[in-house]
Structure 1
Amino acid sequence: MQASDKGHASASLNGENLRIGIVQARFNADITQSLAQACITELRALGVDPAHIRHVTVPGALEVPLALQAMADSEDYDALVALGCIIRGETYHFELVANESGAAVTRITLDYATPIANAILTVENEQQAWARTEEKGRDAARVAVEMANLMKELQ
């Protein structure tokens, strides 16, 4: 960082030399696979080497944090991405899954000082989910790359 930067960190979207881990929930698989495809396509467009992208799947959103924790614990990744889709139903289960998975992802981010782009969709219906998959998948990739670079800059 140059002295002229006056302490302002830049938002670098250069994915070269970054290692990214992706954990995708298989529940609502068509939607989460679309999220994953958009994310991986964007990571590659940002310069992340496909050999440096590890993509694993788990049953559902509540299982995502455990896989993220294992990846963070390995210290093999500069950033992680959480992908899933929780669609509101007629019971309280929606709130439970949305709240618990979100809180766990945040806890892992802070406990391991590892950036995690949380793209676990929480929507009212399938139509809302489909309307968000492309954009949220790409956003997750950009957040992961930007935060990985920022963390390197801050250390």
Structure 2
Amino acid sequence: MQHANQGEAVNLDGSGLSVAIVQARFNADITGKLAEACLAELAALGVPAANIRHVTVPGALEVPVALQALADTEDFDALIALGCIIRGETYHFELVANESGAGVSRVSLDASLPVANAILTVENEAQAWARAEDKGRDAARVAVEMANLLNDLG
């Protein structure tokens, strides 16, 4: 795979990497599909099953603190955030979407560790189902690519 602007090859070899996944249980059917696709793609990219840690938390707001705890172990080359926030009739959607997204970004920057954010923020359940498999797979690819990039830069 090539970057459009630089022609630089992307390293998607996960064979030497350790990755942790934090999955929100709220909207569990959808986040389960995200996790299933993510785990399958990590395997396809060569990440050994023994090098994958998969934990669950109640919802998207709890994802960042679990990511932070995993980052603090210094055991992982990349982290993955999985969740699903479906718009409701109140401001709660914006609060959860904004705060979880900001928390995920902060963990990544504070720890200098790639965090692939696949917390879906959608209008309805149909949109979530339409995106779950692709976003789960994309999260695995982002995690592996960014872990390899940061290893090369470090």
TM-based fold match above 0.5: yes
Structure 1 spans left out of the alignment, 5+ residues:
1-6
1:41 is paired with a residue of what secondary structure? Answer: helix
Q: Check conservation: 1:88, 1:125, Cα contact below 8 A.
A: yes
**Residue 118 in 1 paired to residue 114 in 2?**
no
Letter in 1 for 2:104: V
Q: Check conservation: 1:10, 1:150, Cα contact below 8 A.
A: no
1:114 is paired with a residue of what secondary structure? Answer: coil
1:114 is displaced (CA, Å) by 0.3
Q: Check conservation: 1:25, 1:59, Cα contact below 8 A.
A: yes
- TM-score if structure 2 supplies the norm length? 0.95
Q: Distance in 2 between matches of 1:85 and 1:47?
A: 27
Q: Distance in 2 between matches of 1:111 and 1:8?
A: 30
Q: Distance in 1 between matches of 2:90 and 2:15?
A: 44
Q: How does 1:1-155 map to 2 (within 5 A)?
A: 10-155=9-154
Q: Check conservation: 1:22, 1:83, Cα contact below 8 A.
A: yes
Letter in 2 for 1:20: V
1:55 is displaced (CA, Å) by 0.2
1:17 is displaced (CA, Å) by 1.1
Count of residues paired in the alignment:
149
Letter in 2 for 1:17: G
Question: Could you report, residue by residue, the CA deviation over 1:117-139 in whole angstroms, capped at 9, with x for unpaired residues?
Answer: 00000000000000001100000
Query: What RMSD, in angstroms, separates the aligned Cα atoms of the two structures?
Result: 1.1
Structure 2 spans left out of the alignment, 5+ residues:
1-5
Question: Could you report, residue by residue, the CA deviation over 1:71-128 in whole angstroms, capped at 9, with x for unpaired residues?
Answer: 0010000000000000000000000000000001001100000000000000000000
* Runs of 4+ more than 4 Å apart: none
Letter in 1 for 2:37: A
Q: Check conservation: 1:21, 1:71, Cα contact below 8 A.
A: yes
1:10 is displaced (CA, Å) by 3.6
Letter in 2 for 1:71: L
1:27 is paired with a residue of what secondary structure? Answer: coil
Q: Distance in 2 between matches of 1:81 and 1:89?
A: 25
Identity over the aligned pairs, expressed in percent?
Answer: 72
1:57 is paired with a residue of what secondary structure? Answer: strand
